[in-house]
Chains A and B, each alone.
Chain A
Amino acid sequence: MRRPSNFAFSTYDSFINEVQDDASISWRKRKKHFFILSHSGKPIYSRYGDEHKLAGFSATLQAIISFVENGGDRVNLIRAGKHQVVFLVKGPIYLVCISCTEEPYMSLRGQLELLYNQMILILTRSVNRCFEKNAKFDMTPLLGGTDVVFSSLIHSFSWNPATFLHAYTCLPLAYAIRQSSGAILQDVADSGVLFAILMCKHKVISLVGAQKASLHPDDMLLLSNFVMSSESFRTSESFSPICLPRFNPMAFLYAYVHYLDGDTYLTLLTTSSDAFYHLKDCRIRVENVLLKSNVLGEVQRSMVDGGMRIEDLPDDRGSRSGAVSSHLGQPGHATYSSERFDEAFLGVGGPAGLWHFIYRSISLDQYVSSEFSSPINSRRQQKRLYRSYQKIYASMHEEGIGPHKTLFKRDDNYVLLCWVTPDFELYAVFDPLADKALAIKTCNRVCQWIKDVENEIFLLGASPFSWWTDPGNTPLPEFAEISL
């Protein structure tokens, strides 16, 4: 069996997977394993090691799952010391994560769901029919060359908040610039394109859908991961069958992908398998407009300038009109310091010990996070911060007792302040010695700031498919409302 497509994936991933099996110490030492296998125990994917060398291990996993299933039950989680083994059964496809990272069960399960949907994006759920016809069906040839897509998704589980927030993020741009790119995308969408998406790395510049068609943030995450991780998209214009699992898991769409520069790429999705030349024409039109209105130049500038910096948080509400890309803010309120962090934190960070924040707009399905600044400098600190957000998000949304409205938590590393309303969620991280009242006040200032610059940091109502209410009419809660 083979996939009907013009794939030319690079296979450098096979070099990374040096010969490892379940007996090798380096394999056992890995902190987080992911496996995909079939219901007959045949390996489909393993993050580390060679799937074929792990055939015995894969069989063991199937035996465990099937043994519990035989008793009319289902195994979700096994705890063994520091390790968690999380199972997800999707018809004939079994997914397993073995982790000692202390991430919440809910997060790991969400990651398995994304991994499954990444596979569906490549093959559609019609693959189930192959198993119905033939239980011993071997899927690995169908996924040939896609290891790197899965590996890159798994890597994003440790840095990309979109993987647990189920929201996308935009590249900060002047309103007019985003509007003009939206207009040309709308123009091509009207000519029979289902979705037109312009992105820079994992950030959206603009996107437009045909009448009534809507794109789920998870699908955007998986699509952009697929495009960015597959080297062949970078080198030429490509046309490939893909499936959007949240849109329709059973059927293929066709994606025309073209990189406009090193990081910026246009994806046009259609239902027609012979639309390549039409989409190519569409791309040329889009590209011309983007060049003429200097959108690509602005994109480059925004990439260099970065997004919101906590040092730029305005003093109090209304004191500045706020232009995020200009970074006109004061050099930071270095009044707060603690001896413990003297070296790491030379007068940087935001006011009141604010270190970082993530704001998620519920109606827009979008989030914005501040740039990392001191003391969250190293990759290790950023990963630790990320894990804290992930954990706190899970506990705020825990089934049964959640969602909580507010939470103030102080531990050895941070003060975490969470605020969940029907309109937005704010997660803010402060210095562990931050004052509570001041932190609350600062959160309100962050919300006001976001409102001031929302035109630039979010994609607002550019197309008919996002059914949000005009944020101008959403009253922003006063800071008195957050009482803990």
Chain B
Amino acid sequence: MPSRRRTLLKVIILGDSGVGKTSLMNQYVNKKFSNQYKATIGADFLTKEVQFEDRLFTLQIWDTAGQERFQSLGVAFYRGADCCVLVYDVNSMKSFENLNNWREEFLIQASPSDPENFPFVVLGNKVDIDGGNSRVVSEKKARAWCASKGNIPYFETSAKEGTNVEEAFQCIAKNALKSGEEEEIYLPDTLDVGASSQPRTSGCEC
């Protein structure tokens, strides 16, 4: 039994369309980058095995579509997530301002048992563009927002260059893991013999 004890972690990636969610994932899982923009339809799913403190994990990454028309998929997609990654483009103020909406929407839809401490990670992507000259959201501003939301870990990334991508996902795995660690004994009831005689339905039920 112990050999098969591997944990699966569900990671949701959210953020406005075009901020680079799919590119980050591709860089992380496949070590590839393409300049061409291809909108995600609904959601894409990728898996990646990670090792952390001598244990093996599988990250099940839900790369969602950023377009508003897909947001109705909410509950279905967010249910049972172990970690939520919020992505914005450091060159787009709008995408940063929307982080708040994404975060709130996620908490409403996924309704995690402990919303205060649900693990988020924020990624400011596309730091490579124009040598940083077209940047409109400062690192200071982003970190301040993260601090105000319960010290969300923050990374500045470039999916194109691969900057900080590995580090960010290591942190994501670590946080996802933290949230799912409580161990319990599984103990269903034992049949009470006094109330045991149930009427039976006989024959075939097809």
Interfacial residues, chain A to chain B (CB-CB below 8 A)? 1-4, 7, 9, 11, 14, 38-43, 52-53, 55-60, 62-63, 66-67, 69-70, 106, 110, 123-124, 126-127, 130, 133-138, 140-142, 144-145, 165-167, 194, 211-214, 216, 241, 243, 246-248, 250-254, 271-273, 362, 365, 394, 397, 399
Q: Which residues of A contact B5 (CB under 8 A)?
A: 141, 144
25 A–B pairs (Cβ distance < 8 Å), ordered by A: A1-B184, A1-B185, A1-B186, A2-B185, A2-B186, A3-B186, A11-B4, A38-B80, A41-B60, A41-B79, A42-B8, A52-B58, A56-B45, A63-B45, A69-B76, A138-B7, A138-B180, A166-B204, A194-B196, A243-B188, A250-B189, A252-B190, A252-B191, A271-B193, A271-B196
Whether A212 pairs with B4 at a CB distance below 8 angstroms is: no
CA distance A123 to B187 in the complex (A): 9
CA distance A362 to B202 in the complex (A): 9
Whether a CB of chain A sits under 8 angstroms from the CB of B197 is yes
Whether A66 pairs with B198 at a CB distance below 8 angstroms is: no
Residues 75 to 92 of chain B near chain A (Cβ within 8 Å): 75-77, 79-82
Given contacts A38-B80, A55-B8, A66-B76, contact A365 B188 (CB under 8 A): no
Number of A-B contacts (CB under 8 A): 164
Whether A216 pairs with B200 at a CB distance below 8 angstroms is: yes
Q: Which residues of B contact A166 (CB under 8 A)?
A: 203-206
Whether a CB of chain A sits under 8 angstroms from the CB of B155 is no
Q: Which residues of B contact A40 (CB under 8 A)?
A: 10, 79-81
Given contacts A41-B60, A142-B186, A365-B203, contact A247 B76 (CB under 8 A): no
Whether a CB of chain A sits under 8 angstroms from the CB of B42 is yes
Query: Closest 8 CB pairs between A and B?
Result: A40-B80, A66-B76, A126-B188, A56-B45, A135-B80, A136-B80, A251-B191, A55-B60
Whether A212 pairs with B197 at a CB distance below 8 angstroms is: yes
Q: Which residues of B contact A167 (CB under 8 A)?
A: 204
Given contacts A40-B10, A40-B79, A136-B82, contact A123 B193 (CB under 8 A): no
Whether a CB of chain A sits under 8 angstroms from the CB of B6 is yes
Residue in A closest to B186 when the chains form the complex, CB atoms = A1
Q: Output the residue of B110, B187, B191 with the most chain A CB within 10 A.
A: B191
Q: Which of B79, B179, B200, B206 contacts A397 (CB 8 A)?
A: B206
Whether B76 pairs with A136 at a CB distance below 8 angstroms is: no
**Distance in Å: Cβ of B113 to nearest Cβ of chain A:** 6
Whether B47 pairs with A252 at a CB distance below 8 angstroms is: no
Q: Which residues of B contact A59 (CB under 8 A)?
A: 10, 43, 45, 60, 62
Q: Which residues of A contact B179 (CB under 8 A)?
A: 136
CA distance A219 to B112 in the complex (A): 36
Residue in B closest to A59 when the chains form the complex, CB atoms = B45
Q: Which residues of A contact B10 (CB under 8 A)?
A: 40-42, 59, 136
Given contacts A59-B62, A216-B200, contact A39 B80 (CB under 8 A): yes
Whether B205 pairs with A123 at a CB distance below 8 angstroms is: no
Whether B204 pairs with A165 at a CB distance below 8 angstroms is: yes
Q: Which of A165, A214, A271, A362 contacts B190 (CB 8 A)?
A: A271
Whether A144 pairs with B1 at a CB distance below 8 angstroms is: yes
Whether B73 pairs with A70 at a CB distance below 8 angstroms is: yes
Q: Which residues of A contact B8 (CB under 8 A)?
A: 42-43, 52, 55, 138, 140
Whether B77 pairs with A250 at a CB distance below 8 angstroms is: no
Q: Which residues of B contact A214 (CB under 8 A)?
A: 200
CA distance A67 to B76 in the complex (A): 6
Residues 1 to 21 of chain B near chain A (Cβ within 8 Å): 1, 3-8, 10
Given contacts A2-B186, A56-B60, contact A144 B45 (CB under 8 A): no
Given contacts A40-B81, A52-B49, A212-B197, contact A248 B191 (CB under 8 A): yes
Q: Which residues of A contact B68 (CB under 8 A)?
A: none
Q: Which residues of B contact A69 (CB under 8 A)?
A: 76
Whether A134 pairs with B196 at a CB distance below 8 angstroms is: no
Whether B190 pairs with A253 at a CB distance below 8 angstroms is: yes
Whether a CB of chain A sits under 8 angstroms from the CB of B144 is no
CA distance A401 to B46 in the complex (A): 45
Residue in A closest to B57 when the chains form the complex, CB atoms = A52
Whether a CB of chain A sits under 8 angstroms from the CB of B192 is yes
Given contacts A52-B47, A136-B81, contact A11 B1 (CB under 8 A): yes
Whether B202 pairs with A55 at a CB distance below 8 angstroms is: no
CA distance A237 to B140 in the complex (A): 67
Given contacts A142-B186, A213-B197, contact A42 B62 (CB under 8 A): no
Given contacts A40-B10, A397-B206, contact A63 B191 (CB under 8 A): no
Whether a CB of chain A sits under 8 angstroms from the CB of B72 is yes
Q: Which residues of A contact B189 (CB under 8 A)?
A: 124, 126, 250-252
CA distance A149 to B43 in the complex (A): 34
**Distance in Å: Cβ of B26 to nearest Cβ of chain A:** 14
Q: Which residues of B contact A362 (CB under 8 A)?
A: 203
Residue in A closest to B72 when the chains form the complex, CB atoms = A70
CA distance A179 to B9 in the complex (A): 56
Whether a CB of chain A sits under 8 angstroms from the CB of B130 is no
**Distance in Å: Cβ of A293 to nearest Cβ of chain B:** 30
**Distance in Å: Cβ of A30 to nearest Cβ of chain B:** 20
Given contacts A42-B80, A213-B196, contact A66 B60 (CB under 8 A): no
Residue in B closest to A137 when the chains form the complex, CB atoms = B80
CA distance A399 to B183 in the complex (A): 45
Whether B42 pairs with A14 at a CB distance below 8 angstroms is: no
Q: Which residues of B contact A52 (CB under 8 A)?
A: 6, 8, 47, 49, 58
Whether B79 pairs with A271 at a CB distance below 8 angstroms is: no
Whether B206 pairs with A110 at a CB distance below 8 angstroms is: yes
**Distance in Å: Cβ of B32 to nearest Cβ of chain A:** 16
**Distance in Å: Cβ of A252 to nearest Cβ of chain B:** 5
Whether B43 pairs with A63 at a CB distance below 8 angstroms is: yes
Q: Which residues of A contact B60 (CB under 8 A)?
A: 41-42, 55-56, 58-59
Given contacts A53-B47, A69-B76, contact A124 B200 (CB under 8 A): no
Whether B185 pairs with A41 at a CB distance below 8 angstroms is: no
Q: Which residues of B contact A253 (CB under 8 A)?
A: 190-191
Residue in A closest to B43 when the chains form the complex, CB atoms = A63
Q: Which residues of A contact B72 (CB under 8 A)?
A: 70
